[in-house]
Structure formats: structure tokens, C-alpha cells
Amino acid sequence: MQTLYKTIGVLVGRDLIGDALIKLPFLWALRHAFPHAKIHWITSQGGTAYTNLLREPTKGLIDVAEEQPEWLGDKSAQAPHFDLLIDTRNRWRDALDAKKIPHDLFLALAARFVFSDRRPPFWLSKKPHMVDRLLQLVELASKEKAVSTGSLSVREDMLAKAQQILPAGKTYVGFAIGAGNKIKIWPRYKFEELAAKQMDKGRVPVFILGPQEQADYAALAAIMAQAKFPLQERDVWGDEPLGINHTLAVARCLDLAVANDSGVGHMLAAADCPLISLFGPTSAEKLAPRVSSGLVIKAQEFGSNQMKDISWAAVDRAIDYMLMHNPKRKTP
């Protein structure tokens, strides 16, 4: 019989928007395994996106967010007791300090779980993807297979506006063409060729462009009259500054999306949008977003580690395959 933990403490280090999005499958798995526990999310380095940008969409996943609490750094302060304490930080000194916090069961990634009260079999190789290593912590605690897929909640008013821009009845294929690092960007002309092919097949290309991509918006809008640019529809959204809620709402209306290794790719994954992820110099094995339905296309499949060498025709075939095997999603 599974142990019932009333209080769970999760220790994390840096927890900016990208870090928090990557950790969502772990958080979903933890909440699924322990639906009635009070989960404390505790940072040791700065704040967490779960208290600002992601606070609203993650309601129900985290009960208490504690940003660098006094008791974590001050040995004279009385730390609270946790039935289950999980250290995700992967540093042995942090794990040693964390183990001093009152707890019933302690689990830590550091040094291949050597400080944990429970450990995976010694013969198991280290999992390359950070999410898989985090999910091991949930499985050690629950003694069950982790269920790590989910979809962040979307404000009803935001979803209604997204549906106004992308009304039901058509097949929408999203394109997230940017990335924080230029080496992770597939050339725009290949996205253009891919979008044109989708229009030939009766589908609607949907470009997800942030404020930093205004030049791309002008160029794409000039040559693709049938394409949609939902985040640029300011007359629909109103005066609220663009944020993750807008992207989540748009993602819920898409049948599929194609994204570089980027923050927007992880936002689409947070809505559990069917996703084709494009990888080149970065490691898909370590960083690919987790979705219920997804494919990864790597430059290495084309004899290179450069994004430009990924064939647009191969991505087009992947779109056809995924749309064939994924019935059209219904937005609530």
C-alpha cells in the first residue's frame, strides 16, 4: 500500500521560467502520485516562476511556494518537518545540508542518489534527460510508475479570444520559429516552405511570434496572406501585455506545432500540444519537451549538427504522420 504523505517539500535551485517549464512533468507526476499532499516548492537561489508568470496556470499543483526561506540558510532557524523531502538540485553539498531538515523520507538526485533513503538499482545507467531523473524521485517515493503528462489550465477569457482568432473547423499547424540562441534556430525560409506546403494541403499555418520577432512578422505577413499571427491580434487580446497565458490559449487551439529548442516549445508542451521538436547542436536526449504526442527531428539524422541541414520535406512528412495518428483535438 502506498504511503500517504501529508506534507512534501521540494528543494530547487534556479527556477526561472525555462527551468520551471522543464520541471512541469515532474510536478504533474508528484501531484498525480500524491493528490492530497500539501506540496511546498522551496527555492535556494532566487525566486521561482511559479509565484509570478506561472502562478495562475499551476494552481492546484503547488500549495506553498517558499523563495529562499530563512530557515534554509540559517542554521539557527527552525526548519519545518516534511513527511517527504525531495532535493532536486544534484549537488552533494546541498544534499548533505538538506538532509538535516526534519523529515521522514529523504530523496536526492546528487551523486547518483547516494544520500537518498531509497535508491534505484545500482546497475541502472544514469538517465540522460533531466526530467527522467526527476521522475525517478517520484517513483522512489510512490513505488509506482510516474504519470507525467498534463496540461496547464487556461483562463476561459483567454481561450475564448484564441478561439475567436482560430475558430473551429480548420486544421491549424503552429510554427514557433524563434529561440533564445541563434544556433538553435531553423532557417526562416524553411519554415516558409513548410508553411506554404501546409496551405497547399488545406491547412492553416499559425506563426507564434513574440515581440522580439516583429521583423519576422512583417516579412511573413507580406508573403502569407492565409497564415495566422495570433499574438499580433491586439484588437482581440486588448491591452493586457503578452505573456504565457496568451501562448497557452493559442496552443490549445492548434492541431499540431513545430518548434525549435526554445522556451516557446516548452510553453506549447505545457499545454500538451502535439509537438514536433527540432534539434541541432543541443541535446534532444537531455532537453526535448515532454508531451503526450511528440516527435523529435535532429540535425544528426542529416549528417550534421547544424539546424540548417534539417530537411523541410522531412518535417512535412512528420506533420502528415502526426495529423494522421492524432485526431483533431477538442478545446474545452
Please name the residue that has the C-alpha cell 500500500.
Answer: 1
Mean pLDDT to the nearest integer, 298-314? 97
Task: Indicate the Cα dihedral angle 87, 20, 40, 8, nearest 10°.
Answer: -50
139: left (phi > 0), else alpha (psi -120 to 50), else beta?
A: alpha
The count of other CB atoms within 10 Å of the CB of residue 189 is 10
Confidence of residue 122 (pLDDT cuts 50, 70, 90): confident
Mean pLDDT to the nearest integer, 95-118? 96
Predicted confidence at residue 2, as pLDDT, reads: 54
Asked if residues 294 and 265 have their Cβ atoms less than 8 Å apart, the reply is no
Residue type (1 letter), 91: R
- C-alpha distances (whole Å) from 310 to each of 185, 194, 258, 302, 319 are 11, 12, 13, 6, 14
Q: In CATH terms, are 7-142 and 156-325 the same topology?
A: yes
pTM to 2 decimal places: 0.91
Asked if residues 123 and 102 have their Cβ atoms less than 8 Å apart, the reply is no
Which of the 8 DSSP states describes residue 329?
A: P
Mean pLDDT to the nearest integer, 225-237? 96
Asked if residues 288 and 307 have their Cβ atoms less than 8 Å apart, the reply is no
Which of the 8 DSSP states describes residue 211?
A: G
Mean pLDDT to the nearest integer, 302-319? 97
Predicted confidence at residue 240, as pLDDT, reads: 86
Mean pLDDT to the nearest integer, 117-135? 92
Sorted by where each begins, the domain ranges of the chain are: 7-142, 156-325
pLDDT digits (tens, 9 = 90+) for 81-102: 999 999 999 999 999 999 999 9
Mean pLDDT to the nearest integer, 288-314? 97
Please name the residue that has the C-alpha cell 504522420.
Answer: 321
Asked if residues 11 and 89 have their Cβ atoms less than 8 Å apart, the reply is yes
Which of the 8 DSSP states describes residue 266?
A: H
pLDDT at 332 over 50: no
What does residue 296 show for φ and ψ, rounded to 5 degrees? -115, 130
Mean pLDDT to the nearest integer, 43-62? 94
Predicted confidence at residue 329, as pLDDT, reads: 55
pLDDT digits (tens, 9 = 90+) for 236-272: 999 988 889 999 999 999 999 999 999 999 999 999 9
- C-alpha distances (whole Å) from 9 to each of 58, 153, 267, 290, 321 are 17, 23, 25, 24, 42
Predicted confidence at residue 149, as pLDDT, reads: 87
Give the SS3 label for residue 256: strand
Asked if residues 277 and 268 have their Cβ atoms less than 8 Å apart, the reply is no
Please name the residue that has the C-alpha cell 481561450.
Answer: 159
Strand 294-298 versus strand 275-279 pairing type: parallel
β partners of residue 87: 11, 108
Predicted confidence at residue 327, as pLDDT, reads: 62
Mean pLDDT to the nearest integer, 219-234? 96
- Mean pLDDT (the chain) is 94
Asked if residues 293 and 321 have their Cβ atoms less than 8 Å apart, the reply is no
What's domain 156-325's superfamily in CATH? Glycogen Phosphorylase B; (3.40.50.2000)
- C-alpha distances (whole Å) from 66 to each of 13, 25, 79, 263 are 12, 20, 12, 24
β partners of residue 175: 207, 258
Residue type (1 letter), 192: E
Predicted confidence at residue 164, as pLDDT, reads: 98
The count of other CB atoms within 10 Å of the CB of residue 133 is 18
Predicted confidence at residue 6, as pLDDT, reads: 97
What does residue 208 show for φ and ψ, rounded to 5 degrees? -100, 100
Mean pLDDT to the nearest integer, 36-60? 95
pLDDT at 18 over 80: yes
Strand 256-260 versus strand 172-176 pairing type: parallel
Predicted confidence at residue 177, as pLDDT, reads: 97
Predicted confidence at residue 101, as pLDDT, reads: 96
How many whole angstroms separate alpha carbon 310 and alpha carbon 307? Answer: 6
pLDDT at 331 over 60: no
What does residue 330 show for φ and ψ, rounded to 5 degrees? -110, 120
- The top-level CATH class assigned to 7-142 is alpha beta
